[in-house]
């Protein structure tokens, strides 16, 4: 029996809804054939955007979408993606499969997508191969309401009203695919580029500087030292790779050792956040600058027979558990984390949605975002779960939890049982108001279970009637390899 304690009398800060953000790059079938079918498509769409995909993303309350990359962002020239589609300049997507990019999905289409999703756009500019004027003009094009050359160009392209823009990334992975810069070089470039990103009218940009690759703490230190007053956010990228970058390991074919190794590596994000936050705290004790984990997720070998440059992978309960512990960790660090973006929304890496022609399925990771959606903009509560270490040579906690209180006073607890074989009996004590009503939903299957186009509902959310109210809380059994949402009123 494991004790779970939720202290409803101890609020620990607001969990930004943007922690539940997503990322979509011009990569493989994420944008084309994923989010965007094109206006002439037989697949049901609104202005070219797939309706089944937008419906599903709205259900998990997608709060923000980052675009157009990724590595693609530092090769992307936004003016190639506006105006009459047949006249748009083509390019080769050299990072991702060497395919021809026809630029039919550009700024107008992305803003339309965000408007259909009801989410905040997060645009990532090109610092690696683009110019200062080019980046500056993109912001003007999107956010200046009128009387400027870019506002006039936008109007000529059919949109007189400015869209408005909050989140803007100044380059991506500039220590790697975004120009192979040193921290010092990028810091100087950041200072210059951000100078010309203007606030038009009432629009206020939230400028995000490129941050570290995993545990590169020196990068964070240099950025904070040189640029802190000029940025609103600093990014961090971390991918969970079971093996190494040459042999990452299969998305579905893994053994028990690899299962726990993956979860251990997913949990490592907690250590990264703590260490980067400590450096940020030194330069920014008020925590004005947000840490944006704007790329995270599991990265496995591509599915056999698919283009290696398309990063298409299946998604199992192992991925769902990796997502659950990561989101619990983000909640726990909501004082510093202002946004996080899972890589990548559809058909790429740890996607929440997979498509095949007109067919679409929801992955186990999608269901985790569904189970966690109540945390968005809620208040983090102190929580503790008594647990043991499992996993042998890859020790991970058996149980993992976070809890929050919503605006209406309801408490949401998300708990994962990481064991691939043992159920856990949980005895919860709530310090706070007496429980009037309790509901629970969960996913629970074998570690390798996944949804396929033959069996799209192998993993799905089920109501759990086994949660019982006790004298000072509740008790329930968390089966092996499960993720729970428990809501108390
Ligand atoms: O998400 C795939 C790639 O991973 C992104 O393009 C890049 O930023 C990162 O290395």
Q: Which of 75, 173, 445, 485 is catalytic?
A: 173
Residue 389 has phi, psi (to 5 degrees) of -90, 135
DSSP strand pairing (206-213 vs 167-170): parallel
pTM metric for this prediction: 0.97
The token pair that represents 177 in the structure block:
């695919």
- The reported pLDDT for the residue numbered 433 is 86
Over residues 387-423, the pLDDT tens digits come to 999 999 999 999 999 999 999 999 999 999 999 999 9
Nearest CA to ligand 1 atom 8: 70
Over residues 337-376, the pLDDT tens digits come to 999 999 999 999 999 999 999 999 999 999 999 999 999 9
The rounded Å distance from CA 71 to ligand 1 centre is: 6
Q: Is 295 a catalytic residue?
A: yes
Instruction: Work out the pLDDT band at 54, boundaries 50, 70, 90.
Output: very high
Ligand 1 pocket at CB < 6 A = 25, 69-71, 172-173, 295, 343-344, 349
Half-sphere exposure of 263 (CA within 13 A, CB side): 32
> pLDDT > 70: what percent of the chain?
100
Q: Is 84 a catalytic residue?
A: no
Nearest CA to ligand 1 atom 2: 70
Judge contact between 226 and 187, C-beta under 8 A: yes
Task: Classify residue 261 as exposed, middle or buried by CB count within 10 Å of its CB (0-12, 13-18, 19+).
Answer: buried
Question: What is the number of the ligand 1 atom nearest to the C-alpha of 178?
Answer: 8
Over residues 105-116, the pLDDT tens digits come to 999 999 999 999
Residue closest to 115 by CA, chosen among 24, 176, 178, 47: 47
b/e map 336-350, b = 16+ CB within 10 Å: bbbbbbbbbbbbbbb
Cα distance between residue 49 and residue 37, in whole Å: 6
Nearest CA to ligand 1 atom 7: 70
- Mean pLDDT score across all residues of the chain: 97
Looking up tokens 């040459």 gives 246
Task: Assess whether pLDDT exceeds 90 at residue 252.
Answer: yes
The rounded Å distance from CA 418 to ligand 1 centre is: 27
The rounded Å distance from CA 173 to ligand 1 centre is: 8
């Amino acid at each position: 029996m494991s004790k779970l304690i939720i202290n409803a009398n101890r609020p620990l800060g607001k969990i930004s809804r943007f922690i539940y953000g997503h990322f979509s790059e011009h990569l493989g079938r994420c944008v084309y054939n994923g989010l965007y079918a094109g206006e002439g498509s037989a697949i049901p769409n609104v202005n070219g955007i797939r309706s089944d995909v937008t419906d599903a993303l709205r259900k998990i309350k997608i709060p923000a979408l980052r675009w157009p990359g990724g590595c693609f962002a530092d090769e992307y020239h936004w003016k190639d993606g506006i105006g009459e589609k047949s006249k748009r300049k083509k390019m080769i997507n050299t990072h991702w499969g060497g395919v021809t990019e026809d630029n039919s999905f550009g700024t107008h289409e992305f803003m339309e997508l965000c408007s259909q999703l009801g989410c905040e756009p997060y645009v990532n500019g090109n610092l690696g191969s683009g110019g200062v004027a080019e980046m500056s003009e993109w912001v003007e094009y999107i956010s200046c309401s009128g009387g400027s050359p870019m506002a006039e160009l936008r109007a000529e392209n059919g949109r007189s009203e400015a869209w408005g823009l909050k989140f803007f990334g100044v380059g991506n992975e500039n220590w790697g695919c975004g120009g192979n810069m040193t921290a010092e070089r990028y810091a100087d470039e950041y200072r210059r580029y951000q100078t010309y990103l203007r606030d038009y009218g009432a629009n206020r940009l939230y400028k995000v500087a490129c941050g570290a690759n995993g545990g590169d703490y020196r990068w964070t230190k240099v950025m904070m030292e040189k640029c802190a007053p000029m940025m609103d956010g600093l990014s961090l990228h971390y991918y969970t790779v079971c093996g190494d970058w040459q042999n990452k390991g299969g998305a579905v074919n893994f053994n028990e050792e690899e299962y726990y190794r993956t979860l251990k590596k997913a949990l490592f994000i907690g250590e990264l956040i703590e260490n980067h936050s400590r450096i940020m705290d030194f330069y920014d004790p008020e925590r004005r600058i947000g840490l944006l984990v704007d790329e995270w997720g599991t990265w496995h070998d591509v599915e056999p027979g698919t283009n290696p440059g398309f990063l298409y992978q299946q998604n199992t309960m192992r991925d769902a558990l990796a997502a659950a512990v990561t989101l619990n960790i983000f909640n726990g660090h909501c004082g510093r984390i202002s946004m996080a973006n899972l890589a990548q929304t559809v058909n790429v890496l740890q996607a929440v949605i997979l498509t095949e022609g007109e067919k679409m399925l929801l992955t186990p990771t999608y269901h985790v975002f569904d189970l966690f959606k109540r945390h968005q903009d809620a208040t983090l509560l102190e929580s503790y779960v008594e647990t043991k270490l499992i996993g042998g040579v890859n020790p991970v906690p058996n149980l993992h939890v976070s809890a929050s209180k919503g605006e209406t006073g309801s408490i949401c607890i998300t708990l994962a049982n990481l064991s691939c074989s043992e159920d856990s009996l949980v005895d919860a004590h709530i310090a706070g108001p007496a429980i009037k009503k309790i509901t629970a939903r969960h996913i629970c299957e074998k570690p390798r279970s996944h949804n396929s186009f033959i069996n799209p509902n192998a993993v799905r959310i089920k109501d759990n009637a086994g949660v019982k109210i006790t004298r000072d809380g509740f008790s329930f059994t968390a089966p092996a390899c499960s993720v729970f949402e428990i809501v108390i009123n």
